[in-house]
Amino acid sequence: MMKDLAEKFPILKEMQKGREVVWINPDKVPFDESIKDCELSIKDIEDAQARLQRFAPFIMRCFPETRDKGGLIESTLTDIPSMKERIDQKYGSGLEGRLLLKQDSHLAIAGSVKARGGIYEVLKHTEDLAVAQGMLSTEDDYACLAEQKFRKFFEQYTVQVGSTGNLGMSIGVMSAAIGYQVIVHMSADAKQWKKDLLRSRGVTVLEYESDYSEAVKHGRRLSDEDPKSYFVDDENSRTLFLGYAVAAKRLTAQLEERKITVDRDHPLFVYIPCGVGGAPGGITFGLKHIFGDHVHCFFVEPAQAPCMLTGMVTGLHNRISVQEIGLSGRTHADGLAVGRPSGFVGNVMTPMLSGEFTVQDAKLYDYMRDLLEAEDIFLEPSACAAFQGVITMNQRAEIKKYLEKHGLTDKMKDAAHIVWATGGSLVPEEVREEYKNTYLDSGDDVYKIHHSGD
């Protein structure tokens, strides 16, 4: 099968060798057209936003660190001019416009982008259960959920999830706060400190030798056997997706505060690290609903685990894995170590996504050190993947063509670029030290930029 596919889609030959590629999505259409057959709409995003608002008093009560944001779990948008200068000098990025960092790495409670989707799904499940039981009405002050009678009620239920690490952290911590029993099924790529942290919160962590998809499969089966257990399905969950999408609504106000306009003459470019696809997909879905054709979203994946790209290029989505094109699926970017993408997300993204970049593991550590030195901000290696976009875009013929096609070439000096930093603030000090001193053997092949197919 691979041979036929590679003939049809030459970029697969580059990917197969573990090389870095840039891919422009040939199926992207104008925004109005892209949402025609979509099962989700702006109403669903607004519904999610309203639900998070209802839970704000409860969140504020359980997690005092959210008090200054009124119980909303939100991150800052930060200008990073020194990083812009650094990537220009060090990598010749030649990036035009303003460079910003969306610091989901520092989101309260879970320290990663998963604090959006994961926590939202636990809260939605909680509301569903309590309302069905007649214990709660959507008019109530949800701070009451911290009371003993609610904890007692939720203690009879279990929440389970498969995770490479960060999703488990957000589901685990929030579920434990509500009172649920929690079981997190962790793949081989999950870092030890994440398992330790979860166990310290009373979460049961089951470890698997296999990759993420296997951990999910086992977790789902175990959960299905128990009628009082709820499985958070990272690959198919519409709820998770909508939790992520709320980010876009809140970004609007942050852009306004910084006097950043997004319109025909001021394009917005967003780069988001991608694993199974839920987080970057949900964020993109939200952003497109707000900024339409003026926002250009790119995913970034590890060169050894580009599952969403493999699915998008071939149109096979979750019916193909990176192993089937000859890649290992193993990567230092634990948050992105996924071999098979979400078919649901792939389908929603097909008419919306601008394109994808892949990046070698060695560079994640370099970008991590660059940001730390230039801006004194620490991100975990997975989260640094997004820098691949802003660093290489000006060196790629594919991007040049994209900009020309959309009439953007002379507008780039007025563009804003948002690198979506997806995790890092909970990484323990000793692990940070280890990361800072990690230099992977890159080899000549790795640092050379390869052009795809055409």
Ligand X SMILES: *Cc1c(COP(=O)(O)O)cnc(C)c1O
Q: Which residues bind ligand X (CB under 6 A)?
A: 112-114, 166, 273-280, 335-336, 380, 382-383, 422-423
Name which of 320, 172, 349 is nearest 244 in CA terms. Answer: 349
Q: State the minimum distance, in angstroms, from the CB of residue 71 to ligand X.
A: 23
Q: What is the largest CA-CA distance in the chain?
A: 64
Q: State the minimum distance, in angstroms, from the CB of residue 133 to ligand X.
A: 31
Name which of 288 and 294 has its Cβ closer to ligand X: 288
Name which of 78 and 181 has its Cβ closer to ligand X: 78
Name which of 307 and 399 has its Cβ closer to ligand X: 307
Q: State the minimum distance, in angstroms, from the CB of residue 380 to ligand X.
A: 6
Q: State the minimum distance, in angstroms, from the CB of residue 240 to ligand X.
A: 8
The 3-state DSSP class for residue 231 equals: strand
Q: State the minimum distance, in angstroms, from the CB of residue 65 to ligand X.
A: 20
Name which of 219 and 280 has its Cβ closer to ligand X: 280
Name which of 19 and 332 has its Cβ closer to ligand X: 332
Instruction: Tell me how far CA of residue 211 lies from CA of 131, 165, 198, 247, in angstroms.
Output: 37, 12, 19, 29
Q: State the minimum distance, in angstroms, from the CB of residue 163 to ligand X.
A: 8
* Displacement of CA 277 from its chain's centroid (Å): 7
DSSP 266: B
Helix (H) / strand (E) containing 420: strand 416-421
The C-alpha angle 12, 281, 67, rounded to 5 degrees, equals 145
Q: State the minimum distance, in angstroms, from the CB of residue 328 to ligand X.
A: 18
DSSP 100: E
Length, in residues, of the chain: 454
* Displacement of CA 27 from its chain's centroid (Å): 22
Q: What sign results for the dihedral spanned by CA atoms 403, 404, 406, 409?
A: positive
Contact 172, 195 (CB under 8 A): no
Helix (H) / strand (E) containing 185: strand 181-186
DSSP 18: T
Name which of 74 and 380 has its Cβ closer to ligand X: 380
Contacts 24+ apart (CB under 8 A), 131-140: 138/54
Q: State the minimum distance, in angstroms, from the CB of residue 194 to ligand X.
A: 10
* Nearest residue to ligand X, scored by beta-carbon proximity: 275
Name which of 59 and 383 has its Cβ closer to ligand X: 383
The 3-state DSSP class for residue 415 equals: coil
Name which of 114 and 294 has its Cβ closer to ligand X: 114
Contact 421, 379 (CB under 8 A): yes
